[in-house]
Structure 1
Amino acid sequence: MSTQITGTLVWYYAICPREAWLMAHELEPERNFDLLAEGRLNQEAHYKRATKELSLPGMRLDGVRREGDRLIVSEVKKSSRFLPATRLQLGYYLWRLDKEGMEAAGEILIPKERKREVVELTPELKGQVEGIMEEIEALVAQPAPPPTVKIPFCKNCAYAEFCWS
């Protein structure tokens, strides 16, 4: 199976490979899941005028703006609970933009916590992104999802019914 790797898929993979496999195979999470809707509202409520959302193939950037000659890409999250996964997601976006010849920096915005973290595409982050992309390609090629593994994030997961029912 050939799947387009997206920033969201990178984020899911960093949290739970099973969740990433389900998403890559177009098994939709619970559409009425409250936390998904809350995340969309969070971004709209806090940043509707400050930045512009932009969709490109494989990328849905929560915010894009210019600071001088530099492009700043924003990712808005509800909490800092998933910061490592969000860094990889934003790293993927920066890696893609870099491949297109666009120099950009990133920022993770967490309005409820009043946090902002700057993310740069360092050689280390670039290597992590390229490695995770290879891992995702191998995962998606598998005929079945990885076995279920109980992790702290399962409690609030939109895919819980696929794993625990």
Structure 2
Amino acid sequence: MITGTLVWYHAICPRQAWLMAHQMEPEREFELLAEGRLNQQEHYERSMKELSLPGMRLDRVRREGGRIIVSEVKKSTRYLPAARLQLGYYLLRLREEGVEASGEILVPKERFREGVELTQELEESVRDVLGELEGLLERSLPPPAARIPYCRKCAYAEFCWS
């Protein structure tokens, strides 16, 4: 099953998405994974309204002036393009279920907030990624490892470079 997290991983590294989709666990004690979980709790604990739906785990959902706002909390703006796709996936899935919503990306440590709407362009990008992911997940082997700027902080590095 394709999830928002897989959409996010695919935008960063298709190999990482394949490994995750095939239940390959990243290094459990990897400090950046734990830091990301704590980041969300630390900064938005009082206002958190996490919601889990099939293929989606929405970090924060709230109503604002009659509109539903879905928030994705990230540790850094470094992965903004991936976060936009992930949030676009959530907004598309919600629309398909008859729920119109807006989105926002929150990066508390950088005091960053960006509104995200499901525009035609974003929807097309999300659908392209979904098509690529479907093909990727059908493969029996992951894509070959390729060094990218994100490798040095990746919890899956042992799968690629050991």
TM over 0.5, yes or no? yes
Q: Which runs of 5+ in 2 are unaligned?
A: none
Structure 2 residue matching 1:158: 3-state secondary structure: coil
Instruction: Tell me which residue corresponds to 2:158.
Output: 161
Deviations 1:9-53 (A, max 9, x none): 000000000000101111111111100100010000000112311
Instruction: Tell me which residue corresponds to 1:46.
Output: 43
Mapped pair 1:147 → 2:144 = yes
Which contiguous aligned blocks of 4+ residues in structure 1 show a shift greater than 6 angstroms?
Answer: none
How is 1:89-128 mapped onto 2 (pairs within 5 angstroms)? Answer: 89-128=86-125
RMSD of aligned Cα (Å): 0.6
User: How high is the sequence identity, in percent, across the aligned residues?
Assistant: 70
Q: Which amino acid aligns with 1:118?
A: G
Structure 2 residue matching 1:97: 3-state secondary structure: helix
Q: In structure 2, what is the Cα distance between the partners aligned to 1:40 and 1:24? A: 20
Q: In structure 1, what is the Cα distance between the partners aligned to 2:90 and 2:35? A: 23
Q: In structure 1, what is the Cα distance between the partners aligned to 2:70 and 2:103? A: 5
Q: In structure 2, what is the Cα distance between the partners aligned to 1:70 and 1:101? A: 13
Structure 1 residue matching 2:104: 3-state secondary structure: strand
Q: In structure 1, what is the Cα distance between the partners aligned to 2:37 and 2:14? A: 23
Q: In structure 2, what is the Cα distance between the partners aligned to 1:105 and 1:132? A: 20
Q: In structure 1, what is the Cα distance between the partners aligned to 2:91 and 2:8? A: 14
Structure 2 residue matching 1:52: 3-state secondary structure: coil
Instruction: Tell me which residue corresponds to 1:24.
Output: 21
Q: Which runs of 5+ in 1 are unaligned?
A: none
Instruction: Tell me which residue corresponds to 1:137.
Output: 134
Match of 1:74 among 68, 71, 75: 71
Instruction: Tell me which residue corresponds to 2:12.
Output: 15
Alignment coverage as a number of residue pairs: 162
Structure 1 residue matching 2:69: 3-state secondary structure: strand
